[in-house]
Chains A and B, each alone.
Chain A
Amino acid sequence: MNPIITKILYALLTVFIIWNIGMVLNGFTRKVYARVNKRYGIRIYQPYIDLIKNYSLDTLVYHGVMYYLGPIFRLTSGVGMVLFIPLIYGSEIFSNFSFAGDAILILYFMFFGTLGMALGSNETGQPYSTIGVARGLAQVTAAEVPLVLAFLSVFIQNQSLSISEIVSVQQGGFMHWTMWTNPMATATAMLAYLGSMMRSPFDVVLAPQEIPIGPPTEYHGSFLAILSTNRPIFAVAKTILFVNMFFGGATNWGMFILKATTLYMWSVVTGTIYPRFRVDQSIRFFLKVPLIMGLLSILLLQFM
């Protein structure tokens, strides 16, 4: 078979695997939340049923072209991230389309979906969507600043913009991980990770109690289903990016799932035990502690 076709087929397989990991983690997370609330919780496979149901509901409302494109942009950002991250280190087929300099593209993809979503839900004219978008963009932007600083620190440390190269430097043992060689950048990125996962204490954007769930208020049926198809893909892709940057990457699927799950649980556990920040509080938080830590991590590199 033509090598490029093989590559595309494997890329589709990768997206499918990532989606399934995300769906199971999603169900598991809600089970954890339920157990902390002393409930039995949903069935682990409930997210799958919800997704099928949403795809089989009618869509009625036409709000304009951007309303249709919003979920598509969101899905593009999730799938795009998966396609350009080298998932398994040393594997030809599961490195997908990663190339030298892919880190910049991925940082762009992380923000791209949010922007598309914001344009789409603003077109609905629903005031709750607008409130959600305003809160979401403010908070994501604040979280992105320390995140990019932490990433820059790692780029400078490795003199490279290629994720594959950054992973290869970390091979050869536990103590080679960026976690040990650049602990300040890792700590910054871990705080920014909490901000971008939309979980408590940073989940006021979707605030299910105060405002009806923020940006996706008007999204229903297939639109909502596309958004919830993206949600697990995007979360796992982001987690994998952090594993690659700071925790040595993965050399096989077992290690991949183990590391991804462990890192994913970092946001779940934090979200379970901490109450919610207001947007102004979370922005102040991101622009104080993580920002200073991010700057320090770059400065420290000069003296190491």
Chain B
Amino acid sequence: MEKFKDFKKRTVIAPDGEKIEIDPMKDYYCDAIPTPRKDYDKIPGILENFKNWARSESLWILAYGSGCGAIEMRPLMTPKHDAYRYGIQWRPTPRQANLLMISGYLSVKTLRIVVRAYEQMPSPKYVMGLGSCTINGGMYWDSYNTINRLDHFMPVDTYVTGCMPRPEALIAGFDELKKIIRAGKGVGADKYAENFAWYKENQKKILGDVGLPEYSW
């Protein structure tokens, strides 16, 4: 494709006359697929329980509003609801976040970015879907540019109902997620790695060939 010509392999000559082959896709992205952690469904033990407690009490959300529900996260940060007192904080980079909020409808254009962001987050990572849009498409169920089932594209830990969910509902959703994590069932990243082929197939069906790598760390 024309717009990906910069990503094609090319040969350059170094100052000392040596020829070097450059493959930009290898330089920019890693193409190794993810692997699940071993024995995640076995009894975790005291140390893992303690870690799970810490993970549940410190949820760092990727501050990326993917849909209209993101507007409800602002009152959540501000004085009236103040989610910080529950250990919920917002981080501006996927590398430091461990909770991805899909806040409502997810357009095809946004899906590509969301998948990349999800893959870049360090595991164990969690996904929370807001509103009916992430469950069955809601009012966009037959739209040409909006996906209608989020869990076909990435594993979802909790759904929060409402259109849009009020901040109170979100806090209840966080409580539910904390219980899941503390019980050692927040293993979405491992499910994603195990069923990687299926998830990728679904993603490609929607996105088409956009020149993205198999997996972007």
Residue of B60, B84, B93, B95 most packed against chain A (CB within 10 A): B95
Check A34 against B95 for contact (C-beta < 8 Å): no
Looking at chain A, what size class is its interface with the partner chain? Answer: 20 to 34
- Given A49-B57, A212-B93, verify A57-B84 contact (CB < 8 Å): no
Contact of A34 among B57, B60, B84, B124 (CB under 8 A): B84
- Given A60-B122, A208-B92, A224-B96, verify A41-B84 contact (CB < 8 Å): yes
Residue of A41, A43, A219, A220 most packed against chain B (CB within 10 A): A220
A59 CB to nearest B CB, Å? 7
Contacts of B95 in A (CB 8 A): 61, 217-220, 224
Contact of B58 among A49, A208, A209, A221 (CB under 8 A): A49
Q: Give the residue name and chain of the B residue nearest to A59 (CB).
A: B122
Check A53 against B54 for contact (C-beta < 8 Å): yes
Number of interface residues of B (CB under 8 A): 26
Contacts of A40 in B (CB 8 A): 82, 84-85
B148 within 8 A of A: no
What does the 1/0 interface line of A203-230 toward B look like (CB < 8 Å)?
0000011011100111111001000000
B82 CB to nearest A CB, Å? 5
Contact of A46 among B37, B87, B96, B98 (CB under 8 A): B87
Q: Give the residue name and chain of the B residue nearest to A217 (CB).
A: B93
Cα of A39 to Cα of B87 in the assembled complex, Å: 14
Q: Give the residue name and chain of the B residue nearest to A48 (CB).
A: B54
Check A56 against B51 for contact (C-beta < 8 Å): yes
Check A52 against B92 for contact (C-beta < 8 Å): no
> Restricting to B96-120, which residues have a CB under 8 Å from any CB of A?
96, 98
Check B58 against A58 for contact (C-beta < 8 Å): no
A37 within 8 A of B: yes
B204 within 8 A of A: no
Chain A: interface secondary structure?
Answer: loop
B86 CB to nearest A CB, Å? 9
A38 CB to nearest B CB, Å? 5
Cα of A220 to Cα of B93 in the assembled complex, Å: 10
Q: Give the residue name and chain of the B residue nearest to A224 (CB).
A: B96
What does the 1/0 interface line of A12-47 toward B look like (CB < 8 Å)?
000000000000000000000010011111110010
> Restricting to B114-156, which residues have a CB under 8 Å from any CB of A?
122-124
Check A57 against B122 for contact (C-beta < 8 Å): yes
Cα of A268 to Cα of B148 in the assembled complex, Å: 47
B78 within 8 A of A: yes
Cα of A41 to Cα of B53 in the assembled complex, Å: 20
Contact of A43 among B87, B91, B124 (CB under 8 A): B87
Cα of A60 to Cα of B58 in the assembled complex, Å: 20
Check A42 against B85 for contact (C-beta < 8 Å): yes
Check A49 against B54 for contact (C-beta < 8 Å): yes
Q: Give the residue name and chain of the B residue nearest to A124 (CB).
A: B95
A112 CB to nearest B CB, Å? 24
Contacts of B54 in A (CB 8 A): 49, 52-53, 56
Check B84 against A38 for contact (C-beta < 8 Å): no
A117 CB to nearest B CB, Å? 15
Q: Give the residue name and chain of the A residue nearest to B125 (CB).
A: A57
B15 within 8 A of A: no
Contacts of B55 in A (CB 8 A): 53, 56-57
B215 CB to nearest A CB, Å? 10
A62 CB to nearest B CB, Å? 9
B196 within 8 A of A: no
B22 CB to nearest A CB, Å? 14
Check B217 against A60 for contact (C-beta < 8 Å): yes
- Given A58-B122, A218-B95, verify A39-B79 contact (CB < 8 Å): yes
Residues of B within 8 A of A (CB): 30, 37, 50-51, 54-55, 57-58, 60, 78-79, 82, 84-85, 87, 89, 91-93, 95-96, 98, 122-124, 217
Residues of A within 8 A of B (CB): 34, 37-43, 46, 49-50, 52-53, 56-61, 128, 208-209, 211-213, 216-221, 224
Besides A58-B124, A213-B92, 20 other A-B contacts (C-beta < 8 A): A34-B84, A39-B78, A41-B82, A41-B84, A43-B87, A49-B58, A50-B89, A53-B51, A53-B98, A57-B123, A211-B92, A212-B92, A212-B93, A213-B96, A217-B95, A218-B93, A220-B95, A220-B96, A221-B122, A224-B96
Q: Which 5 A-B pairs have the closest CB atoms?
A: A212-B92, A56-B51, A220-B95, A52-B54, A53-B58
Q: Can you list 8 A-B pairs with a CB-CB distance of less than 8 A?
A: A42-B84, A46-B58, A49-B87, A53-B55, A53-B58, A58-B123, A61-B30, A221-B122
